[in-house]
Amino acid sequence: MRRIFSISVFALCSLLFASLSAQSLLTPEQLAKRERHKNLTVKEWNTDSKTKTRWLDHLKVYDSEGRCIEEIEYATYGQKSRVTYKYDDVTGKVAEEVEYNDRNRPVRIKKYEWNENGTKAKQYNYLPNGKLYSIKLYEYIFSDK
């Protein structure tokens, strides 16, 4: 019983440390923006100037931590495209991004690796069937100019 309790306390402390270290990578402005976006849904509407008809143009959904989890772009005929985001529990960064077409079928899956300093390291691009088709590497070069 005592061993189980010590393991669960360790797990809880590890989770707390991971969430604090993930948030420490964010600037105060980013943290404030996330706070404003908690559980928010934003709808952008277009209105025709002559007929005054209105249609949904764009939709963004945020989770309880203020992170964007879904974006949908609409056309006059309906959904044009949709992107969903999944986040890494440790870093708080985007771990996976899935792009859907107008028929709500996946067309591209992107998975990310991040550097210690919070910059992108790699992007893996997959086909909808899960087959890897390309890898993008990010290189950061700073100049003294």
Can you say whether residue 135 is alpha, beta or left, with left for phi > 0 and alpha for psi between -120 and 50 degrees?
beta
At 14 the pLDDT is 44
Strands 94-100, 41-47: pairing is unpaired
The DSSP H or E segment spanning 50 is none
pLDDT tens sequence for the chain (145 residues): 444 444 444 444 444 444 444 445 678 887 887 788 888 999 999 998 999 888 999 999 999 999 999 999 998 889 999 999 999 988 889 999 999 999 999 999 999 999 988 899 999 999 999 999 999 999 999 888 7
* Residue pair 85/93 in contact by the 8 Å Cβ criterion: no
Rounded CA-CA distance 130/113 in Å is 17
Residue 145: predicted pLDDT: 76
Q: Which domains does the chain have, with CATH numbers?
A: 2-137 (2.40.128)
What distance in Å separates the CA atoms of residue 128 and residue 22, rounded to the nearest whole number?
30
pLDDT at 36: 82
- End-to-end alpha-carbon separation of the chain, Å? 62
Cα–Cα distances in angstroms (integers) from residue 4 to residues 12, 16, 17, 18, 145, in the given order = 12, 18, 20, 21, 57
What does the pLDDT read at residue 30? 78
Q: Which residues, 6+ apart, have CB-to-CB distance to 74 below 8 Å?
A: 55, 56, 57, 58, 59, 80
Bridge-partner residues for 124, per DSSP? 111, 135
Is the pTM higher than 0.85? Answer: no
Strand pairing class (68-75; 120-126): unpaired
